[in-house]
Structure 1
Amino acid sequence: MKKKKFYLSLIITVAFLIVSVLLTFQIFSARTQTINELNINVINLSRTLDTYSEGVIRQGEMIIKTISSMTEIYGIKQPEIERIRTLLSDQTTFIEQLNNIVIYDDKGNEILAMRNIPRWGRNGADRSFFIYHRNNLSKDIYIGPPVISRTTGKWVITISKRLEDENRMFRGVVVLTLNIENFLETYGKLDIGKNGSISLISDSGILMIRFPINEKFTGKIFSDSLLFTSYLKKSDSGTATVISRVDHIERIFAFQKNKRYGLVTTVAVSTDEALNSWRHHAEILGATIIFLIGCAFFSGGYVFKEISRRMQLNKELANAKESLLSANAQLKEMASVDSLTALANRREFDHAFPKIIQDCAINKKSISLLLIDIDFFKNYNDKYGHLSGDECLRKVAGIIKESLTDLNAVAARYGGEEFVVILPEAEPELAKNIAESITHNIISEKLIHEASPFGVVSVSTGVSSAAATDIDDDGTSLIESADTALYRAKYSGRNQVNTI
């Protein structure tokens, strides 16, 4: 009997030791898993914030390019300047981060500002953006280092563009400033822990924004940091674990370099905070191991029950992980925006079109479809190059989007130089008017196209309308009708609207 008890106790002890080893392995495995999941989270967040920053700056770019074009057309003398003043007065509704828009002449004297300061005159000749444009012939926008606004006394980011006369001589600068406070407010809504940080850095290493803010580092150059000397030389995005030069806290950080503007977004989470949950879990498991070692000699049944419970826990953790991986896969599939034009992409169109048809059919309404094709676009690419072609696509997409403001419409890039617009509950006459408005707005933009007989970028549009109850579920018949109408518009000479 004693021998049997001895062997039983020995078996139970050996079995528990094996379980203890497995639990110890799980502790360290869970640590690795926690860090891996954190890496995924911070890289996804850095990409999201990169998209956010690009969107804000792209809006600013569009505004100052519009103003620059107006100065080239109308000049910067009275009374033409009043037209620009009217445009400036409406810009706060487009960019919530907007601080001010100012036009300076070639001496740096203020000509016009969206927001005036309560003193006579203002001179920006000492500002870095003014010096840059005065000394550089490039007409591209320039994202300058952060400065303190002379309007509000707060930190801002500058986006500026050189102004020239018809002889390409320097005529001044138009500058748009973005409030850093608004970026910080957005960053502050994200859960990155007490010691987490988010930064926006220029491609030359200048710290533009850091959350939480530390003004003594704003505008400082960090081009000698590992981010620029090592990581960005290998890849435009990634993760690493480093000790911050700002506050000497070890963090797991992700970086994402923007391909359009070169800005680098970093998201960092304190390693110590990130492992708090794991550490708490590890302490619980460690205490459990010690407790079960004492209990193993008295109750083999308790040991086996504990093993069974932990196996179930592992199974639940595995199921939870699988669910998370599945959710991440679904999130990736949800990407629905065309990266070039910022309109909905073809996949989103294919997804949304049948649903819109169904809704219109339930309400017994009509539905209309516009197929829009840029005229002689291949000639445009051949003459100006594909980069200019991409810019042309972006501008046309922007005009289409602006033309549909306040309308219940879905615009998407259908493929290549083709765009599609869904007009729910739109009768044929309304659809035709909208199509003609888009065609007129694109021609009015006067985008130079020397390889076109029209001299400017133009579009041909096919319009098809039908009762939703008469359309097949996927809308193929409506698409084919619109395509036929588009063909007729092209065959009839292009730069026109054809309806079916």
Structure 2
Amino acid sequence: MTAINTGLPDPAPRKFPVTALATGFVILVCASLILVQGWVTWRAREVQLAETERATSNLARSIGQHAYDTIKGADTVLVGLVERLEVDGVTEPNLERLHSLLVKRVQELPQLHGLFVYDQDGRWIANSQATLNKNANNSDREYFIYHREHTNRGVHIGPPIKSKSTGEWIITVSRRFNNSDGSFAGVVLATINMSYFKTFYEQFDIGETGAIFVALTDGTILLRRPFEEKSLGRNIGQFPLFRDYLPNAKVGTQTFTSGQDGIVRINSYRQLDLYPLVVSAALSRDEVLKEWKSDAIVHAIGVGCLALGLALIGSRLIRQINLRVQAEAELLKARHSLENLNRTLEKLAMQDGLTGLANRRQFDIALKDEFSRAMRNASSLALIMIDVDCFKQYNDIYGHAAGDECLREISKVVAAGKHRPGDLSARYGGEELVILLPGTDVTGAMKVAENIRQAIYQLELKHTGNSAGVVTISAGIDAFVPVRENNHAIELIEAADKALYYAKSHGRNRVHAGNGEHKPV
């Protein structure tokens, strides 16, 4: 597509005020400072949370390994007992030897609270205690009922209970043993003292509101730190960990609100592979972020003070810039006013106050310049000299005010008689007017002068002191091509004045050229 040239200059690019640029710069610096600090602070928060998630994950791994090792040690003993009972039977000599073995195993494994053997009716037939209470019966216990009703031979971990023998809180790990025909023969039981877990968990720094727990996969709590008896055996299967997260991933870290105490914690959890246990280590998010919040507040105050200081300094600088801009604008305005005044004064100095035409001073300057130019260019220069006929009588009859108005009307016609930018109409003195016509010969000047004469005559300005009855003019013309060192500008004036004298002395209301030609009305 061809671009269209309109001939107009391209618009100048728009410039923004200095104060607007300075204001924008100050705002940009302050906003950048605040945004950078905000990003750094938020980034520090994310790093703190990420480190906490790694810490809780490692803690959950440690707790899970401890729970696995503890249960595994007890279960290994139970596996050996089941084999011994099913091979050797439950005869009296075998039970006596078994008692010694149970005592020895409890002494070897610190996590064990006790080892017990029950027959198919729940009666005590052997344990690790010094004296066997043959009248005791545990057929009502959850683990006994479970094995009696389930034929699987796997390990069973029951909910926390209080020991009948010592009254302490324990966790039960049990297995079923059978008769030779596969029927139910009884239960072997290992009890783990809850204090063993508590002692281990208390070694970890989890803050004031952190939490550690071990639970069965159905959500039954076996142990929790902080330790509360009311929470033991409580089922939390409907809480977010068991309801939302464990079904999707056996290992993970999530942040959610605890259903037990309403505290938002960062939870890392693990479900053990060989045993139906879930362990969790959780740290309070508010505690984790407490130090970060303190640092963030301090940094925010510092950055806020710095931004405020920059804003104050910037606003002061902007005010100074604004004052300077205003001062420069005032100076520029004053300069423009002075230039306009100078132009007005210069115009007044070069303009006739009555007629509005150029005055004698401007005419003398223009004549000198145009005469020199005509000399350089070898071009013709013409001069028309005009005089109002019988103007003294006009003033005597109508008054000087009317005479001034008459001159103004005549000057309008004279001014309209020139058509080129280089032409000059001037008041030469009194009622005498002149027209300077560069590049014009006598013929052209005659045409201009005659048009002016006729236009003034057609104004029909009443003049009873003139033979024509109206205001008329006489005009003298001369034109020549000046030659350097042979001609002077005064010669043109003298020639035109001489022609004017001839026109007035031969009847007025006529134009006469320097070569003697003239035209009457």
> Shorter chain as normaliser: what TM range?
0.5 to 0.7
Structure 1 equivalent of residue 135 of structure 2: 121
Provide the aligned length of Structure 1 versus Structure 2: 298
Task: Determine if the alignment matches structure 1 residue 86 to structure 2 residue 66.
Answer: no
TM-score normalised per structure 2: 0.54
Structure 2 matches for 1:339-418, cutoff 5 A? none
The CA deviation at 1:298 is 8.3
Task: Determine if the alignment matches structure 1 residue 66 to structure 2 residue 80.
Answer: yes
Structure 2 equivalent of residue 100 of structure 1: 114
Structure 1 equivalent of residue 276 of structure 2: 262
Q: Deviations over 1:242-297 (max 9, x none)?
A: 22222221211111111111211111111111111210110111121122224436
Equivalent of 1:45 in 59, 71, 75: 59
Structure 2 matches for 1:457-476, cutoff 5 A? none
Report the aligned-residue RMSD. Answer: 2.4
Structure 2 equivalent of residue 162 of structure 1: 176
Flag structure 2 segments of 5+ consecutive residues without an equivalent: 1-16, 315-521
Structure 1 equivalent of residue 200 of structure 2: 186
The CA deviation at 1:131 is 0.5
SS, match of residue 92 in structure 2: coil
Query: Is the CA contact (8 Å cut-off) linking 1:193 and 1:273 kept in structure 2?
Result: yes
Structure 1 equivalent of residue 69 of structure 2: 55
- Partner AA of 1:250 in structure 2: V
Residues 269 and 31 (structure 1), Cα distance of their counterparts in 2 relative to 1, 3 Å cut: same
- Partner AA of 1:162 in structure 2: R
The CA deviation at 1:94 is 3.4
Query: Is the CA contact (8 Å cut-off) linking 2:125 and 2:134 kept in structure 1?
Result: no
Equivalent of 1:177 in 191, 194, 199: 191
Residues 187 and 74 (structure 1), Cα distance of their counterparts in 2 relative to 1, 3 Å cut: same
- Partner AA of 1:76 in structure 2: V
- Partner AA of 1:257 in structure 2: Q
Query: Is the CA contact (8 Å cut-off) linking 2:30 and 2:311 kept in structure 1?
Result: no
Structure 1 equivalent of residue 494 of structure 2: none
Equivalent of 1:199 in 194, 200, 213: 213
SS, match of residue 91 in structure 1: helix
Q: Deviations over 1:425-483 (max 9, x none)?
A: xxxxxxxxxxxxxxxxxxxxxxxxxxxxxxxxxxxxxxxxxxxxxxxxxxxxxxxxxxx
Task: Determine if the alignment matches structure 1 residue 237 to structure 2 residue 251.
Answer: yes
- Partner AA of 2:141 in structure 1: R
The CA deviation at 1:185 is 1.5
SS, match of residue 90 in structure 1: helix
Q: Deviations over 1:80-110 (max 9, x none)?
A: 1122112112223432221111111111010
**Alpha-carbon distance between aligned partners in 1 of 2:267 and 2:130, rounded to the nearest angstrom:** 41
Structure 1 equivalent of residue 35 of structure 2: 21
SS, match of residue 23 in structure 1: helix
**Alpha-carbon distance between aligned partners in 1 of 2:285 and 2:195, rounded to the nearest angstrom:** 27
Structure 2 equivalent of residue 141 of structure 1: 155
**Alpha-carbon distance between aligned partners in 2 of 1:117 and 1:85, rounded to the nearest angstrom:** 10
TM-score normalised per structure 1: 0.56
The CA deviation at 1:64 is 0.7
**Alpha-carbon distance between aligned partners in 1 of 2:18 and 2:239, rounded to the nearest angstrom:** 67
Task: Determine if the alignment matches structure 1 residue 279 to structure 2 residue 293.
Answer: yes
Residues 11 and 208 (structure 1), Cα distance of their counterparts in 2 relative to 1, 3 Å cut: same
Residue identity over aligned pairs, in percent, reads: 28
- Partner AA of 2:246 in structure 1: L
Query: Is the CA contact (8 Å cut-off) linking 1:56 and 1:95 kept in structure 2?
Result: no
Structure 2 equivalent of residue 291 of structure 1: 305
Structure 2 equivalent of residue 359 of structure 1: none
**Alpha-carbon distance between aligned partners in 1 of 2:225 and 2:131, rounded to the nearest angstrom:** 28
Task: Determine if the alignment matches structure 1 residue 34 to structure 2 residue 41.
Answer: no
**Alpha-carbon distance between aligned partners in 1 of 2:163 and 2:88, rounded to the nearest angstrom:** 28
The CA deviation at 1:32 is 2.0
